[in-house]
Amino acid sequence: MTSRNRLKSKLLSGERALGVWVMTGAVPNAEILAHAGYDFVVIDHEHGAGDTHDVFAMLRAVDAADGEAVVRIGWNDQTLLKRVLDAGARSIMVPMVETAEEAAAAAASCLYPPRGRRGYAASAVRASNYGTVPGYAHAAADELLLIVQIETAEAVANAGAIAAVDGVDMVFIGINDLGASIGRLEQLDHPDVLALAAQAEDAIKASGKLMGTVPSPGRDPGVLAGKGFHMVASAADVSLLRDGARAELTQWADAFPRVRPAPSTKKGAGY
């Protein structure tokens, strides 16, 4: 694995990054999408399939394809964070952060003392190439990209304080759960949801921290780039496979009439 976090460097240089989700836990999918040229591949272990062994394998696959991976853990948990960091993840996404205290706990779990409380095993883990990278423990913080997700109305109210936490590099707006938190599940273009998202955007921009999100109706990656988002995690392996299959079935429907009805074309935002 490389020691430099090229995604973090790209973002801090002012460039934008477009990425893709891997929800299936399938190692080849992570490798294929990295080869395709996305700026980053999100290895999703909140809603996606797989376990810690799969994180190892997908990180290796993305590295082999000369890509950059972001690992979304299942929860803001010190043990989960420690394990994926030791596995070699340099970019971490933490879901459902609602307060500055929760953001600070995530940062502390990712940073070695004296800045944090990350447990030490640097001489024996993949993150240091199994002890062959001199000074890994002292340089790890420089290469860490810590992304915290705000996904509720409470989190939006605290967005400025969350963004201000030392060690947090990016605040990522999870608009799907944001809408659900105010009783607007799957109503992503509802004025109340858009107003809440705009409130979060204003607070993050004022903090000077990086800002990310997923697309939603009327807010495709191009629109989001124009609104000042630095990072957009767009499609997923599931949606790319599903939509590609549907497109081929539609293309050849006359030549190969189908016996069963065509599936629904309704798609969720972001995935």
Distance, in Å, from the CA atom of 55 to the CA atom of 70, rounded to the nearest integer, reads 10
Kindly tell me if the per-residue pLDDT of 269 is higher than 90.
Answer: no
Percent of the chain with pLDDT over 90: 89
Q: Which amino acid is located at 1 in the chain?
A: M
Looking at residue 258, its pLDDT comes to 75
Mean of pLDDT values over 11-20: 98
* Banded pLDDT at 2 (limits 50, 70, 90): low
Distance, in Å, from the CA atom of 19 to the CA atom of 231, rounded to the nearest integer, reads 8
Kindly tell me if the per-residue pLDDT of 4 is higher than 70.
Answer: yes
Phi, psi of 203, deg, nearest 5:
-65, -40
The burial of 245, by beta-carbon neighbours within 10 Å (0-12 exposed, 13-18 middle, 19 or more buried), is given as exposed
Residue 47 is a catalytic residue: yes
Looking at residue 30, its pLDDT comes to 98
Mean of pLDDT values over 165-188: 97
What is the DSSP code (8-state) at residue 5? -
Query: Which SS3 state, helix, strand or coil, does residue 78 take?
Result: helix
Pick the catalytic residue from 35, 45, 47, 138: 47
DSSP-assigned states of every residue in 125-158: SGGGTTTTSTTHHHHHHHH-EEEEEE-SHHHHHT
Looking at residue 257, its pLDDT comes to 85
